[in-house]
């Protein structure tokens, strides 16, 4: 952590005193520590304690400095935000985007990774509202350091005790490592479906939404990569930092990928590209008739195979959406298209497409396999990038 900028947010729970020990350990590890305390946190631990440990001023109010905007300055300077302890009230405000004090303003203004360490009574932790709020924050990419089971302030024994110091340091250190592990990489991601027009109002397509590819692009940007995103038709907005090329057909996507691939070091093809297109596109809407009509089709270019045929040092990752023999089909695609790795998922029923939770398994080589588990597509994007960074560095 030497020289890394950590912002420690301390909220008003009895576990606030433990944040002082964490602050000391972060400083000893070399972190440059800024501390933001809520008004309730100051009821448990004085600001002077943290100021002495960090050897820096402690921030308690959005109005403390008139020559600058404190929450914007702090948000831009930090490399990770860690809220230790995080009360149920603060967690609720973060989930809803409420910014009514300095700490919540900083979080809303920051693009740095967010680490949240809940600490509260078991009943509050298990309340449906708290569980829902934590799920919302996880889905946005926050790292939740789950509390332990132990002795609580209410003289009770149960879940809600602040996580141990080692777990907190590990979470903060992991978040810091991720902010730089793609620095210097130029990443190309394809996402979304393609549409192959039959006439001006009808087309061939599929259920892909582009969600997973967009989240992979967002995560890559957070880790320091330069991102090229080739995005098929979707109402979803791409991350602002990506250089986005919008396309419609498979031929459009193939041309855009060929153009954008120059100088790319990693490519991830999540797009669901139509294999076939109508042989003829009608200029006007085809009118309904009583007799069935045949639709002649012709092959589309294979965007992923074209990338695999001319990799030239590119680390290439494909996606396989399967309904049966998942890993066998994915491994065949891995070899045939000259991929370095492939992520496979089951898209039967309600799974896989859109904003629903997903589950991925990453395959590589003749027998390499890593189960990335299930979760939101933002969570899976982080896990997939962790695995790709590790594979690429070992290559």
List residues with catalytic annotation.
Answer: 206
For residue 164, give the 3-state DSSP assignment. Answer: coil
Q: Is residue 5 a contact partner of residue 29, using CB atoms and an 8 Å limit?
A: no
Residues contacting residue 32 through CB under 8 Å, at least 6 positions apart: 3, 4, 5, 6, 56
- In angstroms, the first-to-last Cα distance of the chain is 26
Q: CB 78: neighbour CB atoms within 10 A?
A: 23
Distance separating alpha carbons of residues 225 and 347, to the nearest angstrom: 29
The encoded tokens of residue 374 equal 């299930």
| Cα dist from 357 to 129, 141, 278, 325, 354, whole Å | 20, 13, 33, 21, 9
Distance separating alpha carbons of residues 165 and 315, to the nearest angstrom: 37
Q: Is residue 204 a contact partner of residue 196, using CB atoms and an 8 Å limit?
A: yes
User: Going by DSSP bridges, is the β-strand pair 196-197/266-269 parallel, antiparallel, or unpaired?
Assistant: unpaired
Minimal CA–CA distance to 348: which of 324, 327, 325, 328?
324
**Consecutive H or E run containing 116:** strand 114-118
Distance separating alpha carbons of residues 150 and 158, to the nearest angstrom: 5
Distance separating alpha carbons of residues 133 and 95, to the nearest angstrom: 5
User: Going by DSSP bridges, is the β-strand pair 196-197/203-204 parallel, antiparallel, or unpaired?
Assistant: antiparallel
| Cα dist from 353 to 193, 222, 233, whole Å | 11, 24, 14
- If 0-12 CB within 10 Å is exposed, 13-18 middle and 19+ buried, where does residue 56 land? middle
> Taking the CA of residue 284 as centre, how many other CA atoms within 13 Å lie in the half-sphere pointing to its CB?
2
Q: Is residue 330 a contact partner of residue 342, using CB atoms and an 8 Å limit?
A: yes
């Amino acid at each position: 952590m030497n020289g890394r900028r950590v912002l420690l947010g301390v909220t008003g729970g009895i576990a606030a005193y433990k944040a002082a020990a964490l602050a000391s350990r972060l400083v000893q590890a070399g972190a440059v520590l800024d501390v933001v305390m809520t008004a309730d946190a100051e009821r448990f631990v004085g600001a002077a304690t943290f100021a002495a440990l960090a050897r820096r001023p402690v921030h308690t109010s959005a109005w403390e400095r008139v020559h600058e905007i404190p929450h914007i300055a702090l948000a831009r300077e930090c490399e990770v935000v860690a809220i230790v302890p995080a009360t149920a009230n603060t967690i609720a405000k973060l989930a809803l985007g409420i910014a009514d004090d300095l700490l919540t303003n900083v979080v809303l203004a920051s693009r740095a990774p967010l680490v949240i360490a809940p600490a509260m009574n078991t009943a509050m932790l298990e309340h449906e509202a708290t569980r829902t709020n934590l799920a919302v924050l996880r889905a946005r990419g926050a790292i939740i350091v789950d509390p332990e089971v132990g002795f609580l302030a209410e003289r009770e024994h149960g879940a809600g005790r602040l996580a141990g110091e080692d777990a907190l340091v590990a979470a903060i250190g992991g978040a810091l490592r991720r902010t730089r592990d793609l620095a210097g990489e130029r990443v190309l991601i394809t996402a979304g479906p393609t549409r192959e027009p039959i006439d001006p109002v009808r087309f061939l397509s599929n259920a892909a939404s582009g969600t997973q590819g967009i989240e992979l692009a967002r995560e890559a940007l957070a880790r320091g990569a330069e991102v090229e995103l080739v995005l098929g038709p979707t109402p979803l907005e791409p991350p602002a930092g990506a250089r986005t090329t919008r396309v419609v057909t498979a031929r459009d996507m193939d041309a855009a990928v060929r153009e954008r691939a120059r100088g790319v070091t990693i490519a991830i093809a999540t797009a669901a590209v139509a294999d076939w297109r109508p042989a003829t596109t009608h200029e006007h809407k085809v009118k309904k008739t009583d007799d069935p009509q045949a639709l002649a089709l012709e092959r589309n270019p294979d965007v992923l195979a074209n990338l695999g045929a001319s990799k030239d040092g590119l680390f290439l990752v494909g996606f396989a959406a399967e309904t049966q023999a998942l890993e066998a089909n994915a491994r065949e695609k891995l070899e045939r298209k000259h991929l370095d790795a492939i992520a496979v998922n089951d898209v039967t029923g309600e799974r896989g497409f859109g904003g629903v939770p997903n589950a991925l398994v990453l395959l590589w080589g003749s027998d390499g396999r890593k189960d990335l588990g299930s979760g939101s597509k933002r969570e899976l994007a982080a896990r997939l990038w962790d695995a790709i960074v590790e594979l690429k560095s070992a290559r």
